[in-house]
Chain A
Amino acid sequence: MIVVENLRKSYPDLEFDEVKAVDGVSFRCEPGQIFGLLGPNGAGKTTVLRTLATLLKPTSGRATIAGFDVETQAEQVRRNIGFVSNNTSNYDRMSAREMVEFFGRLHGMPEEALQQRAQLVYQQLQMTEFLEVSGGKMSTGMKQKVSIARAIIHNPPVLIFDEATVGLDVLVGRSLQDTVLELKEQGKCILYSTHHMREVERVCDQIAIMHNGKILCEGTQQQLREKYMQDDLEDVFFELMDQQSAAEGVV
């Protein structure tokens, strides 16, 4: 469903001439699977996800979503994804209902289908109590629910969550993870980026650990633990970071 092949994105930089934000990243994510991108801040996760959401153009490499190329078929790609990030906010001067239904209409949903789908989404996300509250007056939890509702209103096969739990309290964060798991049950193909180990352990089937624009390792939790002979995923992560730092030191 999501196929990324040798994706690169670089920017000119005054100090280092060129910064390789993403440096040859490849992975696949299938329907009914949650693929976790784990990495520290600045690892290149957001750049990968923004490229998949067609906000940025790759410098080289290729990525397809639902068979559509992110560079040449951007519009079709956007119709097949729902993108939730801590950079995608809601309109302050629009109510939850207006916001969600505006995006549904933008996706070209017929009015009747939109209303049916919207009711389902509102119930699923327990939004019915604050449908008429405007964005500016919502709590962080409400805002996050509206963001998710906005992203899934057109029932896309692929969902991308970019550090969606940043700034949320434990309760709201947990509820978001539950929603993601529910969406997985519905057969969605989900790409989930975070820098929290516990989140990855709880929701992701397949994990890729990113650092300095590269994927250092990829596999299921079990595979990673076995490969690096660590019981805890966090230990795997630190082991990899240490190896990476040592390798960079040698270079």
Chain B
Amino acid sequence: MNWFNVRKLFIRELLGQLRDRRTIFTTVLLPVMIYPVLGLVMMQVAQFVTENSSKVVFVGQYSFSEFPELIQHDPTSAVLDGELQLPDALLSVVAEEFPEHATVDGVQQSLQQRLDSKEFDAALILSPQFHEYLQYLKAAVESGRSAREELEKLDPSEIPGPVIVYNSVADKSKIARARISNLLEHWEERVRDTLFELGNLPSGVATPIALQLDDIAPEESQAAEFWASMIPIMLLLWTLSGAFYPAVDLCAGEKERGTLETLLCGPAKRVEIVTGKLLTVMCFSFATSLANLVAIAFTGVFMISKVMPVGSDLHAKLGVFPGWSILWSLVVLIPLVAMFSALALAAATFARSSKEGQYYMMPLLMLALPLSMISVMPNVELDLGTSLIPVAGSALLLRNLVESQFDVALRFAIPVMASSAFCCYLTVRWATFQFNSEAVLFRESEKWDIRLWVRQLFRNKPILPTGGMAIFAAISILMLRYIASASATTPETYQDFVFDNSLSLVLTVGVPAILVACLLTRSPASALRLKMPSLSILGIAIVLPFLLHPSVIWLGEAIQYLYPINPGMKAATAGLEQMLGTAPLYAMLIAIAFVPGVFEELAFRGIILTGLEKDARPSSAIFVSAAFFGITHGILQQSLNAFVIGILLGYVAVRCGSLIPTIIMHILHNGITVILSREGTADAISGLLIDHNGGKIYSPAVAVIGALVAIVLLVILHKITKSHDVDPVPESESPQGVYG
């Protein structure tokens, strides 16, 4: 790659974008303007909301001769048009008599109807019985010791308390209820104090335990909580949208305007063009983040503290803005900016026009949003596990920085950066791939006829499956697995388990793979890699699972350490494990080793890997097929383990060009796990085991030696097999309709 060319291209693209008013508006001006405007609007709305009093009806007498008043008449309260205005409590009260000879139920019913017709927001019933009860309480307290016996005779459910009639679905009614409750709570305190006074008890008896809280979180962290949860999400979303608009203009827009072809027939290499464009998109994405942060900071530091009075509700909720020090958290954004920019660039390259490009924004947002939302979920903290999750790790790191928890942030900065850098590398690779594909660059609108397509699919079958068929098979399997797991019931006997598990695997994994191979390819056996390998390969395939089993078990341990299985799931599977422990060994070997070993291999290393290998480089095909293999395992911890194993199996399948070795490895690996989990069987190899977390595990030395010997065998395997060179851009990928 010629960096001089990249620089020239970068400068040109940057100038081009800077001369475009729309880009400048969406990436810089919009974010700068939006916060102050939003802040002002929010303050206006907040005032508007809080100044509205709730209209409520009090049925029954609400003043009590010997008790404190329910409504304390402060100087601001007034009677207007028959309504008692209570500005402090934000209530506007209409008082009504409790109808004579009416029951509480009857009054309740009539109030419900009136509430339905929106006559008021909520109602409070203070029945005559409640008055009597208060009098009774007072008399009982005054009469001294005998009062306790009197009170003990009362059934608490029969005490006629005040009743609030409201509608929890209507917001206004809910607010009114809260305000009435608030009023009642304050009144209850005063009534209690009065009763204590009458009974000659000190008021401290009412609250015998005076709890004191000692919060050790630094003041700046406490105060910045609101900002700490908001800033990462806002920044991530703006980083993505800041990347998206220039990317669409630089790729889809250039295609539309015809300048991309001018550039492509120029002297620069494709990779230089991609890099130049990527740097430009990154620049804008970063500028958007920076503009955002400055705008948030401005709004936070100046507007909120100046406009909102200190001590007000809203001010307390928003807390103190963490200050300008958060600007350095932009460093965290660099790998994210690169990743989002490459993603946006790849999506925009794929699009034929700017309009189509805009359509791809939503799926990308849908991908990024849930990941960034992880940072605001309760109980989710930055640790080694979460730091490795793309986007989410960065959001959590940002959160810690904003909260000034620098020690935690520093500890996990490297894993976050490493994970982001890896994702960034993958997305850049994808973008470059898009840019090298004739089919993508010269794609033109073509009429797609499903009838012709189906006819073509069956009439001109390829010998081997295509990448499209592989993806189709993988997605079908994923969907079928999802349906199967959603409709599965907990097995009651081991026979149920063996039958259900095997049948579900055959139907959801095996059948789709075999159907795709038989119906859509000319050589199903080649599509599924059903070919006998040499004896030496078979020998290696038999030995490898024994050598690698300790490492895989340790890998599982490491994964569980990073992402602990939640206790609920552990408890749920414990019963099943216990039941399966008593099942005959042959049944478990069929259900857990044999059936998955054969059918998962037919699908993932068979049709899916073969298809992917036809349209992509072997390494990418192995990676993607392993990812699908991992995802179908459902539980995150198992998925990660399966992903790593999938890469190894994929490598063996590609090198040997045969599925037999991987079927053997898969069956043996699962079989060893089943056998060792049986009561007493582990004793046979007790010399290889150590105590670990209340159980037994291979000693690390065994794992290391096993892995080293396995590596030697894999090197031998590499030497004795030929790489199956597949043209990365085969004929079938060429576009339609580019001829003149």
B101-115 vs A: 1/0 string, CB under 8 Å?
A: 000000000000000
B12-28 vs A: 1/0 string, CB under 8 Å?
A: 10011001100000000
Q: For residue A110, give the distance in angstroms from its CB to the closest CB of chain B.
A: 12
Whether A89 sits at the interface, judged by CB under 8 Å, is: yes
**Chain A positions within 8 Å of B264 at CB level:** 55
A79-110 vs B: 1/0 string, CB under 8 Å?
A: 10101010111111110000000110111100
Whether A118 sits at the interface, judged by CB under 8 Å, is: no
Q: For residue B276, give the distance in angstroms from its CB to the closest CB of chain A.
A: 10
Q: How many residues does chain A have at the interface if contact means C-beta atoms less than 8 Å apart? A: 54
Q: For residue A14, give the distance in angstroms from its CB to the closest CB of chain B.
A: 4
A164 to B453, CA, bound (A): 36
B243-273 vs A: 1/0 string, CB under 8 Å?
A: 0000000000000011101101111110000
* Of the residues B12, B262, B734, contact of A88 by C-beta under 8 Å: B262
**Chain A positions within 8 Å of B258 at CB level:** 87-89
Whether A125 sits at the interface, judged by CB under 8 Å, is: no
* Of the residues B267, B438, B449, contact of A56 by C-beta under 8 Å: B438
Given A87-B261, A89-B259, the answer on whether A79 and B738 have CB atoms closer than 8 Å is no
A89 to B259, CA, bound (A): 5
A46 touches B257 (CB 8 A): no
A87 to B267, CA, bound (A): 17
Whether B739 sits at the interface, judged by CB under 8 Å, is: yes
Residue of B nearest to A13 (CB): B736
- Residue of A10, A50, A79, A193 with most chain B CB atoms under a 10 A cut-off: A50
Given A78-B265, A88-B261, the answer on whether A11 and B736 have CB atoms closer than 8 Å is yes
B455-468 vs A: 1/0 string, CB under 8 Å?
A: 11001100000000
A81 to B266, CA, bound (A): 9
**Chain B positions within 8 Å of A21 at CB level:** 738-740
Whether B5 sits at the interface, judged by CB under 8 Å, is: yes
Given A21-B738, A44-B740, A55-B442, the answer on whether A14 and B453 have CB atoms closer than 8 Å is yes
**Chain A positions within 8 Å of B456 at CB level:** 14, 17
A55 touches B460 (CB 8 A): no
B739 touches A11 (CB 8 A): yes
A99 to B33, CA, bound (A): 34
**Within A4-56, which residues are at the interface with B (CB < 8 Å)?**
9-15, 17, 19, 21-22, 41-50, 53-56
**Chain B positions within 8 Å of A45 at CB level:** 740
A90 touches B259 (CB 8 A): yes
Q: For residue A101, give the distance in angstroms from its CB to the closest CB of chain B.
A: 10
Whether B8 sits at the interface, judged by CB under 8 Å, is: yes
Residue of A nearest to B446 (CB): A14
Residue of B nearest to A92 (CB): B257
A62 to B625, CA, bound (A): 36
A87 to B256, CA, bound (A): 10
Whether A59 sits at the interface, judged by CB under 8 Å, is: yes
Q: For residue B258, give the distance in angstroms from its CB to the closest CB of chain A.
A: 4
Residue of A nearest to B258 (CB): A89
**Chain B positions within 8 Å of A107 at CB level:** 266-267
Residue of B nearest to A20 (CB): B739
Given A11-B736, A19-B739, A102-B8, the answer on whether A53 and B265 have CB atoms closer than 8 Å is yes
Residue of A nearest to B18 (CB): A93
Q: For residue A66, give the distance in angstroms from its CB to the closest CB of chain B.
A: 14
B452 touches A106 (CB 8 A): no
**Chain B positions within 8 Å of A46 at CB level:** 738-740
Q: For residue A137, give the distance in angstroms from its CB to the closest CB of chain B.
A: 13
Whether B725 sits at the interface, judged by CB under 8 Å, is: no
B727-740 vs A: 1/0 string, CB under 8 Å?
A: 00101101111111
**Chain A positions within 8 Å of B265 at CB level:** 53-55, 78, 81, 83, 88
Q: For residue A155, give the distance in angstroms from its CB to the closest CB of chain B.
A: 13
A129 to B257, CA, bound (A): 25
A79 touches B267 (CB 8 A): yes
A171 to B125, CA, bound (A): 93
A15 to B452, CA, bound (A): 6
**Chain B positions within 8 Å of A10 at CB level:** 731, 734
B267 touches A91 (CB 8 A): no
* Of the residues A12, A22, A150, contact of B739 by C-beta under 8 Å: A22
A78 touches B740 (CB 8 A): no
B738 touches A56 (CB 8 A): yes
A108 to B269, CA, bound (A): 13
**Chain B positions within 8 Å of A231 at CB level:** none
B261 touches A85 (CB 8 A): yes
Q: For residue A192, give the distance in angstroms from its CB to the closest CB of chain B.
A: 14
A154 to B267, CA, bound (A): 10
A154 to B266, CA, bound (A): 11
A51-81 vs B: 1/0 string, CB under 8 Å?
A: 0011111010000000000000001001101
Q: For residue A212, give the distance in angstroms from its CB to the closest CB of chain B.
A: 10
Q: For residue A152, give the distance in angstroms from its CB to the closest CB of chain B.
A: 13
A12 to B448, CA, bound (A): 13
**Within B221-260, which residues are at the interface with A (CB < 8 Å)?**
257-259
* Of the residues A19, A55, A193, contact of B261 by C-beta under 8 Å: A55
Q: For residue A40, give the distance in angstroms from its CB to the closest CB of chain B.
A: 10
* Of the residues B12, B257, B738, contact of A89 by C-beta under 8 Å: B257
* Of the residues A57, A103, A108, A162, contact of B729 by C-beta under 8 Å: A57
**Chain A positions within 8 Å of B734 at CB level:** 9-12, 59
**Within B483-517, which residues are at the interface with A (CB < 8 Å)?**
none
A56 touches B729 (CB 8 A): no
A89 to B266, CA, bound (A): 12
Given A21-B738, A75-B267, A106-B266, the answer on whether A57 and B452 have CB atoms closer than 8 Å is no
**Chain B positions within 8 Å of A193 at CB level:** 740
* Of the residues B259, B729, B732, B739, contact of A9 by C-beta under 8 Å: B739
Given A44-B739, A47-B739, the answer on whether A12 and B732 have CB atoms closer than 8 Å is yes
* Of the residues A88, A106, A147, contact of B8 by C-beta under 8 Å: A106
**Within B708-740, which residues are at the interface with A (CB < 8 Å)?**
729, 731-732, 734-740
Residue of B nearest to A37 (CB): B740
Q: For residue A118, give the distance in angstroms from its CB to the closest CB of chain B.
A: 16
- Residue of B15, B449, B732, B734 with most chain A CB atoms under a 10 A cut-off: B734
A8 to B284, CA, bound (A): 43
**Chain A positions within 8 Å of B738 at CB level:** 11, 21, 46-47, 50, 56
* Of the residues B4, B266, B453, contact of A103 by C-beta under 8 Å: B266
Q: For residue B361, give the distance in angstroms from its CB to the closest CB of chain A.
A: 23
**Chain A positions within 8 Å of B732 at CB level:** 12
**Chain B positions within 8 Å of A213 at CB level:** 739
**Chain B positions within 8 Å of A59 at CB level:** 731, 734
A91 touches B8 (CB 8 A): no
Residue of A nearest to B447 (CB): A14
**Chain B positions within 8 Å of A79 at CB level:** 267
A10 to B736, CA, bound (A): 9
Chain A residues within CB distance 8 Å of chain B = 9-15, 17, 19, 21-22, 41-50, 53-57, 59, 75, 78-79, 81, 83, 85, 87-94, 102-103, 105-108, 147, 150, 154, 162-163, 193, 213
Between-chain CB contacts (< 8 Å), 23 pairs: A9-B739, A12-B734, A12-B736, A15-B452, A42-B740, A43-B740, A45-B740, A49-B740, A55-B265, A56-B438, A57-B729, A75-B267, A78-B267, A88-B258, A94-B12, A94-B16, A105-B8, A106-B5, A106-B266, A108-B4, A162-B740, A193-B740, A213-B739
4 A-B pairs with least C-beta separation: A46-B740, A21-B739, A89-B258, A14-B452
Q: A89-B259, A93-B20 are in contact. List 11 more A-B contacts (CB 8 A).
A: A9-B734, A11-B738, A12-B731, A43-B740, A48-B740, A55-B438, A75-B267, A78-B267, A79-B267, A81-B265, A83-B265
